[in-house]
């Protein structure tokens, strides 16, 4: 439970006799409703030409109360077809990396992208597309309030860190302050590892760092 609600819940329980569990359910309903309303807003979006070519908008998936939120750059062909993030080969690798540190992608983390529509041919996102679409990601972060953001790849890293002139190799494997509040860990995009398996040990090291951060902050709600 989040600390900013603890005092209110204690007051309600002690002085008004309201059951804490019922209040928690209302809190969950509110957060899920906020995400659902934002999803509906995304599904109406026509701010850039990408909506004309997409099959599905790809909003995000996972636990809206997760302490860790992963952010990629944009949907690929598999994601565009299914409407879910990281479901192709790169997604399978992400799922495996999470399993290796004891995390379930549906129960323990939330996953989203900077862009909600697939760029043609999986090309890099354009600056205008990022400017148009990224406010949705910012709203997701504000609603979910993760303790840790994990940037998968350079576009997510540059957007979340605000440091677009620094090579990804200089950012990865370190904790940073994100421009949106939560701490930020940068690592490679799983697709980059599929292209260059020699870096597998590096991304695995970064994921072990995620687990270490969670363990060090295990007492925080």
Q: How far apart are CA 12 and CA 85, in angstroms?
A: 39
Q: What is the spatial order of strands in the sheet that 183-187 belongs to?
A: 61-62, 109-113, 68-72, 148-152, 183-187, 175-177
pLDDT (0 to 100) of residue 16? 53
pLDDT at 44 over 90: yes
Matching residue, tokens 């309600």: 12
pLDDT score for 53: 93
Query: Does the pLDDT of residue 143 top 60, yes or no?
Result: yes
Higher pLDDT pick, 4 / 177: 177
Q: Render pLDDT for 46-99 as a digit per residue (tens, 0 to 9).
A: 999 999 999 999 999 999 999 999 999 999 999 999 999 999 999 999 999 999
4-13, 173-182, 185-194, range with greatest mean pLDDT: 185-194
Report residue 67 as tokens. 């302490």
CATH homologous superfamily of 45-216 equals Uracil-DNA glycosylase-like domain (3.40.470.10)
pLDDT category at 130 given cuts 50, 70, 90 is very high
Task: State how far the Cα of 129 lies from the Cα of 54, in Å rounded to an integer.
Answer: 14
User: Are the CB atoms for 71 and 94 separated by under 8 Å?
Assistant: no
Tokens for 187, please give them. Answer: 């690592």
Backbone φ and ψ for 113, nearest 5 degrees, come out as -130, 160
For residue 50, what are the contacts with CB-CB under 8 A and spacing of at least 6?
A: 115, 117, 118, 119, 129, 133
């Amino acid at each position: 439970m989040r600390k900013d609600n603890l005092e209110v819940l204690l007051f309600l329980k002690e002085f008004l006799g309201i059951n804490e569990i019922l209040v928690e359910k209302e809190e969950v309903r509110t957060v899920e409703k906020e995400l659902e309303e934002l999803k509906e807003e995304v599904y109406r979006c026509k701010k850039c030409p990408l909506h004309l070519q997409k099959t599905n908008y790809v909003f995000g998936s996972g636990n809206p109360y997760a302490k860790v939120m992963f952010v990629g750059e944009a949907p690929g062909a598999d994601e565009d077809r299914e409407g879910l993030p990281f479901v192709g080969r790169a997604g399978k690798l992400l799922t495996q990396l999470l399993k290796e540190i004891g995390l379930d992608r549906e129960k323990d983390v939330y996953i989203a992208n900077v862009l909600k529509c697939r760029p043609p041919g999986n090309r890099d996102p354009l600056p205008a597309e990022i400017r148009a679409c990224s406010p949705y990601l910012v709203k997701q972060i504000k609603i979910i309030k993760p303790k840790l953001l994990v940037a998968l790849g350079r576009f997510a890293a540059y957007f979340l860190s605000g440091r677009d002139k620094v090579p990804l190799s200089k950012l990865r494997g370190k904790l940073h302050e994100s421009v949106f509040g939560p701490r930020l860990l940068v690592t490679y995009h799983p697709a980059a590892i599929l292209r260059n398996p020699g870096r597998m040990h590096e991304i695995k090291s970064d994921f072990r760092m995620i687990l270490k951060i969670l363990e060090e902050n295990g007492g925080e709600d």
